[in-house]
Amino acid sequence: MKQTLKYIAVVFLILIWTAVNARQRQENWSEKMANTVMTIWKDSVEMEKKGRPASWSYFTGLVLEGMTNIWRRTGNERYFKYVQKNMDRFVTDNGSIKGYKKEYYDLDQVKNGRILLTLYKATHQEKYQKAAMLLRDQLKTHPRTKEGGFWHQHIYPYQMWLDGLYMAEPFYAEYAATFNEPASFDDIANQFIYMENHARDSKTGLLYHGWDEARQQKWADKKTGLSASFWGRSMGWFGMALVDVLEYFPQNHPKRPAILAILKRFSTAIAKVQDPSSGVWYQVLDQPKGEGNYKEASASNMFVYALAKGVRLGYLSAKFKHTATKGFDGIINTFIETAPDGQVNLKGTVVVAGLDDNRDGSYAYYLKERVKTNDPKGVGSFLLASNEIERLK
């Protein structure tokens, strides 16, 4: 009788474990989205432009970085092979990059360098190192503001944008750590310090999208040089840049505390503008009740990623774990749709937003840009956020 009861208890425990494991697999949103990526973008993450060659774009790199992080967590080689296949569309055997133009001095073109470093470390193929060196060389001669901040692009003179911190600094930091460039970390830290000094609003703690040192742009305030609004995704780029750079920043570097302090101010500010009902964030962060404002997916994903990674690695206090998990639950409830075939679709990503003569950075401007389902910037940031939440849990 005792043996029978013991047998029943063991079977019961196995059934419970199987059910729990099945539930966990069912809620593994990162791999669900990764499988969707490999279905809808079999050959390129830019399949939306059918009939055209894929471009060396930052959003390609964002999706591939999401896939890379899932590969690191799961060890599933399918994800690594997908990343390598897509990068090999651009990287030639001699280390040149198809579609890359150094003379553009565009920080967006630097972002994919992190994927090159991943491939070099995993395969030791020299072509990936050579390609990464091209991007590092760009930063050596990239135009700068008078105090030393990178211009966002050559066609945007004297301008620093929040976006640019993510496009350049995580690669710059990983490259410096990989190839022993300790002097570079001063420069990397200064990029964040300059940007926050100019763009941070003292009342809300939020950062404006762009800053024009010359005060010449139509969108720039003539006194401050700042753009007019707090755009969600621009702050999302900034937050992700902070946690990614800190991962490679030397522990004993004298400017590391300054970067940690910027991250804490950033996290406090975005926690205050999280929608208390849904848990997600709005396109224009400080005007949730503004006419036409809407909940936006990519910014929400990026904030969840930054907060969850910051907590996991000890950069942020545990109180931000609640903000991150509430945000992720909100993302699932607000933006995710699951098709009958199991495909996961992400609604609610604004396709693009920028600053120039035709894009004035006003509240009205940010609300008129097109919103799309399964935009790569939303999908890529969802891969990052969901994987980070799964690691945190």
Which residues form the catalytic set? 163
Note the Cα 304 to chain centre separation in Å: 10
CA distance 276 to 184: 40
- CA 321/CA 316 separation, integer angstroms: 9
Start-to-end CA distance of the chain, whole Å, equals 40
Sign of the Cα pseudo-torsion (352, 356, 359, 363, in order): positive
* Pair 230, 209: CB distance under 8 Å: yes
- Rounded to 5°, the CA angle 377-189-161 comes to 40
